[in-house]
């Protein structure tokens, strides 16, 4: 970061892209104070801007219904004001109104006191957002003048609509400040830049866009804060999936004279891989686990999850377990061990054949005369789930499940078996993208041997729960399957629309039926990282009991 004296006649604004923890108001305030100190000492900042709901973390959900939680949050305001009497600090928090309702507020502190406040106008209530459950919308614009520069304040969804930014400009703002907790999904960056460019054109004002960074349960916040000048050019981009500070010098007319911060933003598989590693790291650490454990089958899904976990936490924090049965091939065992050796991961082997024999012997009086079927297949998966949960309990390690979105969509997973665990890192990653991410990881982080053996990438997928089993016995080609899932789940397309696009009607109807039938399984699945616009979980809320028949 280039360090210079503030430009003559200009105001220096620092963008403080920090990671917060939901519910930890004191810890979040500590993080703010650290950023304020750096901005003062290193950047000579006069204004510092933090993300939306900085003190509570985002989304605080029903913590907002607790008076003691709100009191903890409010107690930090004066502490921050006292720590920065020589700066203007803009940050987010929930604020109680006299009647008891809440607003999603941006406070402006300076000279040891509150200078101004702004209540968010546009409360999102779609997808992963349900702010209308908690907040009352604001109606008034907020413009605060700092050293002659009129700053208009907006919060996140406000910038996606026309009225709040225009109201601030009409009230005299020459620079728009927007505090954001905008979660990541693929292609979100392009949408943000387009929307901010629209607001710049609408108002003639540059925009300072400060976004949250970090993982919070299913959500990942990617940071990528930036400023956009009056010509629509993106300036001082901050890192993706990492904390960072940036700065810009602005005049009273809204001209950006200088700026610092020039991070490169990853795209494609690199972006998704970074989101997944951050999601794993923050979920494990924020929940106090001593590393992770996972079952390693020798297949592509567990291979990708193992590599992600090592990159997120370090090899010493990951335990891999092979659990062979009578159907497990030597190839699978060899490939799993090879991957562990290449990554430096401890690998244990717990054969399940004795346990499987014991279970089938116990069940024999009831199952006598009945042919073996999916019951015996699921029994193997459930034995493995019991063993892995025992290791999780004994050693305090989070159990990572390895199912992908394609499997979760159609129920190609065993309830209380391979679905058992604490976190599902690739739950929103379709199978075709699993392969793409694995190939990207092998190609872009050079080591003597790629972490995922080539044979894992090239062999035909199989659950190995019966003799000569192949995924293709139960499912269409994954490229076709993922196309149907994307159309039906993420875009709400009808069967008629999918068939008109060239998909086979019987195949579409079978897959759609499976998606709807397996809602009960997904309700019992662990949380996982959201990377699409419509993930199973917070985004997509379908009833389990339903008579709906798609057309």
Active site members:
52, 120, 156
Compute the 3-state secondary structure of the chain and give helix, strand, coil in percent, each to the nearest 5. 40, 20, 40
User: Tokens in use for 431?
Assistant: 């199978």
Phi-psi category of 26—alpha, beta or left, where left has phi over 0 and alpha has psi -120 to 50?
alpha
HEC profile for 180-191?
ECCECCCCHHHH
Rounded CA gap, 364 and 381, in Å? 19
Query: Beta strands 256-260 and 149-155: pairing type?
Result: unpaired
User: Tokens in use for 305?
Assistant: 């999850």
Report yes or no: 527 and 424 within 8 Å, Cβ to Cβ: yes
Work out whether the CA dihedral 77, 83, 88, 89 comes out positive or negative.
negative
User: Tokens in use for 309?
Assistant: 């976990």
Which among 379, 424, 435, 397 has a CA at the least distance from the CA of 524? 424
Rounded CA gap, 422 and 419, in Å? 9
Helices (H) and strands (E) in the chain, counts: 17, 19
Query: Beta strands 213-216 and 219-222: pairing type?
Result: antiparallel
Q: Which long-range contacts (CB under 8 A, 24 or more apart) does 472-478 make?
A: 474/412, 475/406, 475/410, 475/412, 476/507, 476/511, 478/406, 478/430, 478/431, 478/432
Residue in the structure block whose two tokens are 């079978």: 510
User: Tokens in use for 540?
Assistant: 């997509």
Rounded CA gap, 313 and 80, in Å? 32
CA distances from 473 to 121, 256, 461, 478, 513 (A): 53, 61, 10, 12, 17
Report yes or no: 6 and 256 within 8 Å, Cβ to Cβ: no
Rounded CA gap, 422 and 420, in Å? 7
Q: Count of CB atoms within 10 A of residue 226's CB?
A: 27
User: How open is the CA angle 100-105-108, to the nearest 5 degrees?
Assistant: 125
Rounded CA gap, 478 and 470, in Å? 12
HEC profile for 525-537?
CCCECCCCCCCEC
SS3 label, residue 308: helix
Which among 172, 165, 157, 151 has a CA at the least distance from the CA of 108? 151
């Amino acid at each position: 970061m280039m360090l210079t004296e503030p430009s003559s006649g200009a105001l220096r604004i620092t963008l403080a892209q920090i990671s917060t923890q939901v519910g930890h108001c004191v810890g979040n305030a500590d993080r703010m104070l650290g950023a304020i100190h750096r901005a003062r000492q290193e950047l000579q900042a006069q204004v510092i801007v933090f993300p939306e709901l900085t003190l509570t973390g985002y989304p605080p959900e029903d913590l907002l219904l607790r008076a003691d939680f709100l009191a903890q949050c409010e107690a930090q305001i004066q502490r921050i004001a006292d720590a920065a009497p020589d700066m203007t600090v803009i940050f987010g928090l929930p604020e109680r109104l006299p009647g008891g309702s809440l607003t999603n507020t941006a406070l402006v502190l300076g000279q040891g006191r509150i200078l101004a406040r702004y209540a968010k106008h546009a409360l999102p209530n779609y997808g992963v957002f349900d702010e209308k459950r908690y907040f009352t919308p604001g109606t008034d614009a907020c413009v605060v003048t700092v050293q002659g520069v009129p700053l208009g304040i907006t919060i996140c969804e406000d910038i996606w609509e026309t009225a709040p930014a225009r109201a601030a400009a009409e009230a005299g703002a020459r620079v728009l400040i927007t505090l954001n907790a905008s979660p990541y999904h693929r292609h979100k960056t392009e949408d943000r830049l387009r929307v901010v460019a629209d607001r710049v054109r609408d108002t003639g004002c540059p925009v300072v866009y400060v976004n949250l960074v970090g993982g919070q349960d299913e959500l990942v916040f990617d940071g990528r804060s930036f400023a956009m000048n009056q010509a629509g050019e993106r300036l001082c981009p901050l890192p993706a999936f990492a904390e960072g500070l940036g700065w810009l010098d602005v005049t009273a007319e809204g001209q950006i004279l200088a700026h610092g911060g020039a991070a490169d933003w990853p795209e494609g598989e690199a972006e998704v891989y970074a989101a997944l590693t951050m999601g794993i790291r923050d979920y494990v650490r924020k929940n106090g686990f001593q590393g992770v454990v996972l079952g390693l089958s020798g297949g592509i899904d567990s291979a990708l999850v193992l590599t992600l976990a090592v990159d997120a936490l370090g090899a010493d924090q990951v335990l891999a377990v092979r659990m062979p049965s009578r159907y497990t091939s030597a190839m699978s065992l060899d490939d799993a061990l090879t991957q562990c050796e290449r990554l430096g991961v401890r690998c244990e082997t717990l054969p399940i054949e004795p346990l499987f024999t014991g279970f089938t012997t116990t069940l024999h009086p009831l199952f006598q005369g009945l042919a073996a079927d999916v019951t015996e297949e699921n029994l193997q998966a459930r034995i493995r789930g019991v063993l892995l949960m025992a290791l999780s309990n004994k050693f305090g390690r989070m159990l990572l499940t390895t199912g992908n979105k394609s499997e979760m969509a159609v129920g190609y997973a065993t309830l209380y078996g391979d679905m058992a665990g604490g976190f599902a890192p690739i739950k929103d990653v379709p199978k075709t993208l699993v392969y793409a991410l694995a190939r990207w990881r092998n190609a872009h982080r050079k080591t003597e041997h790629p972490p995922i053996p080539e044979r894992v990438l090239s062999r035909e997928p199989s659950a190995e729960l019966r003799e000569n089993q192949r995924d293709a016995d139960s499912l269409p080609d994954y490229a076709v399957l993922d196309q149907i899932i994307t159309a039906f789940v993420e875009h709400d397309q009808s069967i008629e629309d999918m068939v008109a696009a060239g998909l086979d009607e019987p195949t579409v109807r079978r897959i759609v039926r499976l998606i709807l039938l397996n809602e009960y399984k997904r309700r019992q699945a662990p949380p996982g990282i959201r990377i699409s616009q419509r993930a199973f979980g917070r985004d997509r809320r379908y009833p389990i009991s339903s008579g709906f028949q798609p057309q």
